Structure formats: C-alpha cells, structure tokens
Amino acid sequence: MSSKNRDESDVRIATAPHQHDFPYDREEEAQVTRREFCNFLGLTSAALFIGSAGFAGKAAIDARSTQAFTPAKIEGAEALAPGTSLNFRYPTEKDSAILVRSLDGSYHAFGQKCTHLSCPVYFERAHQRLECPCHEGAFDARTGDVLYGPPPRPLDRLELELRENGEVWATGRVPGSNERSI
Amino acid sequence: MQNAPSKASSIHGHVRKGRAAVAQARLILLVMINVAQLWVLAATVEAALAHQFAVLLPLVIASGICFVITLTLIFWWRPSSRRFTSSGYLKR
C-alpha cells in the first residue's frame, strides 16, 4: 500500500463517525458542484452590475462637478522651439498634459489622456499632430479634434495665457466633448 | 410483474437525465447572461470615456435586468418534475 493510500485510509478511519453527516469523498471535494458554479455565476453577475453602475455613477458625478482651477506657470515653455512639444502637469500632479508650439509660434495645450481608452498621446513632429500609440488614433495639434482612429471626442483642451517675458500660464481645463449636457 | 421494477427504474432514469439536461441548460443560460453583462460593462466604460452620458443610464438598466434574470434563474427556477417547489409546496 502506498503512503498516499495509507494516509487516505487513516483519514477515512479518523473521519468515519462524521461520514454520515458529511458523506463526501476527498476527491469529490476538489470538484466544483453545479450549485457552486451557479453561485459563482450569480456573484459574477452582481459584480458586473455593480461595476457598470459604479462606473456610470462616477462619470456622471465627475461631469456635474465644477472644478476651480488655479493658474500655474508652465516651466520651460518660453524656451520651447516652434514645432516641438513639452510635457507638464495640470491642474494637479496626477493630470499629465502636453504643450505644443506650432510652427507659426502659437501655443496649444491639451490633456495627455487619449479620449478612447486613456493612453497618453505624444506629439508626432513629422506630421505635426498628436498621436495615440495604443490604437493608432490621431488628433489635430492646434485644436485637439480627432483626425482619425477610434477616439470618440476631441482631447481635453487647456486654456493658456501669455504673460510678460514670454511666460506661458495654464489657467483652466475644458473637456473636449461632443456632448455637453447631462 | 417482473418488468414493473425495470420499467420504473427506466422512467426514473429518463427523468434524471432530463433534469440534468435542463440544469445544464440553465447553467449555459447563466454563462450567456454573464457574457452579455461583460459586454454591457465594456460599453459603459467606453461611453463614459467618450462623455456620451445619455447612454449610461440605459446601459446600467440593461445590466440590472441581466442581474435580475440571473437571480431569478438561481433562486426561483426549479425543474417542473421536482416534487417540492421553492415555496415548499408538495406536488401530488
């Protein structure tokens, strides 16, 4: 008799008084019963429903809330050469943004999150446009409008202010949306 | 007389097989509802990121309906051949 079988036999002897109350074999304990699988599917369904409701609720609350923006200087913007870009953070340290200086010298700034699935966009110098590397979407570097690809709406636009000595300040953030009302 | 027990056992076997088939069909239905809910969740995420707020509520309602159907299938559904119903009623 192998040691495994002997162990099992010992367990059977030790648990014999309880076999009437819990009549399960050890092998069967590892199997998933139909009832357990049903319960798992039920819990999955509940989780998916809560996830949908939670995500929709958060999006709706975020859209309704009005945020006050504090003007902030964009460091290094005055030295930015035409046709190049600069990454910075605004309005909070968590919000990455991109400042683009067009070939004509004008400044444009956008939130860096792609409006498709939130990948960070980058400035593609050769074509003078903002591109998303995840799903090949592209945005106009002057307006933030979608040029092609899966993004459903324009990039969030940052309001800029030119101050003395060529300083560039970010003063606000406007969601790039095709649908404003909620 | 000798055929009676084997006939009864044959009928019992058919009922058991049929009941198992229906239970498996219920499981498949639950899995399909889960897949549909997963699709609704993906659509909700995309709609929220796209700021298409008008479609959020219908999507949440659709997910809720799927959840209610799941609960119905798990808690209130029983094979019609079963003697005891969920309310404890004993069929004659």
Q: How many CA atoms lie within 13 A of A70 on its CB side?
A: 4
Q: Quote the pLDDT of residue B50.
A: 85
**How do beta strands A129-132 and A107-111 pair?**
unpaired
How far apart (Å, rounded) are the C-alpha atoms in residues A76 and A81? 10
**How do beta strands A107-111 and A96-101 pair?**
antiparallel
Q: What is the mean pLDDT of chain B?
A: 80
CATH of domain A72-174: 2.102.10.10
Domain annotation covers residue B25: yes
B48 and A44 within 8 Å at the Cβ level: the answer is no
* pLDDT tops 60 at residue A119: yes
A45 and B66 within 8 Å at the Cβ level: the answer is yes
* pLDDT tops 60 at residue A181: no
ipTM here: 0.75
Whether residue A174 contacts residue A156, with contact meaning beta carbons closer than 8 Å, is answered with yes
**pTM of the shown model:** 0.67
- The tokens for A145 are 């409008």
Q: Quote the pLDDT of residue B74.
A: 87
* b (16+ CB within 10 A) / e for B29-64: ebeebbebbbebbebbbbbbbbbbbebbeebbebbe
3-state secondary structure A60-120: HHHHHCCCCCCCEECCCHHHCCCCEEEEEECCCCCCEEEEEECCCCCEEEEECECCCCCCE
* pLDDT tops 60 at residue A97: yes
Q: Quote the pLDDT of residue A133.
A: 93
Give which of B39, B49, B66 to mutate to test A binding, by max A Cβ within 10 Å.
Answer: B49
**Each residue of B3-33: pLDDT tens digit?**
555 665 666 667 677 777 888 888 999 999 9
Which residue in A136, A130, A65 sits closest to A98, CA to CA? A130
Shortest alpha-carbon distance between residue B5 and chain A (Å): 28
B54 part of contact set with chain A, CB < 8 Å: yes
Q: Quote the pLDDT of residue A62.
A: 85
* pLDDT tops 60 at residue A96: yes
Domain annotation covers residue B41: yes
Band (B89; pLDDT cuts 50, 70, 90): low
Nearest CA in chain B to A61: B53
Instruction: Give the range of the structural domain holding residue B66, as residue numbers without chain letter.
Output: 3-76
Tell me which of A126-140, B2-16, B28-42 is least confident: B2-16
Residue B14 one-letter amino acid? H
Domain with CATH 2.102.10.10 in chain A: 72-174
Q: Quote the pLDDT of residue B58.
A: 96
Greatest mean pLDDT among A80-84, A89-93, B15-19, B34-38 lies in B34-38
Domain annotation covers residue B85: no
Question: Which residues in B lie closer than 8 A to residue A46 (C-beta atoms)?
Answer: 67, 70
Of B53, B64, B70, the CB nearest to A182: B53
Q: What is the mean pLDDT of chain A?
A: 86
Q: Quote the pLDDT of residue A180.
A: 42
Domain annotation covers residue B21: yes
- The tokens for B12 are 């019992």
How far apart (Å, rounded) are the C-alpha atoms in residues A154 and A140? 9
Q: Quote the pLDDT of residue B88.
A: 56
Q: Quote the pLDDT of residue A182.
A: 36
Q: Give, for A146, the enclosing helix (H) or strand (E).
A: strand A146-148
B74 and A179 within 8 Å at the Cβ level: the answer is no
Between A66 and A114, where is the model more confident?
A114
Query: How distant, in Å, are the alpha carbons of A13, A15, A30, A100, B91 from that of A23?
Result: 14, 10, 14, 72, 28
Domain annotation covers residue B90: no
Query: Cα-flanking dihedrals φ and ψ of residue A165, to 5°?
Result: 65, 20
Q: Quote the pLDDT of residue B79.
A: 58
Domain annotation covers residue B83: no
How far apart (Å, rounded) are the C-alpha atoms in residues A178 and B16? 58
B16 part of contact set with chain A, CB < 8 Å: no
Q: Give, for A168, the enclosing helix (H) or strand (E).
A: strand A168-174
Q: Quote the pLDDT of residue A146.
A: 93
**Each residue of A5-14: pLDDT tens digit?**
777 778 777 8
**Each residue of A18-65: pLDDT tens digit?**
777 777 666 666 677 788 888 999 999 999 999 999 999 999 898 888
Q: Quote the pLDDT of residue A18.
A: 78
* pLDDT tops 90 at residue A124: yes
For residue A79, the tally of other CB atoms under 10 A from its CB is 8
- What's the domain count of chain B? 1
Which residue in A125, A126, A151 sits closest to A136, CA to CA? A151
Shortest alpha-carbon distance between residue A63 and chain B (Å): 8
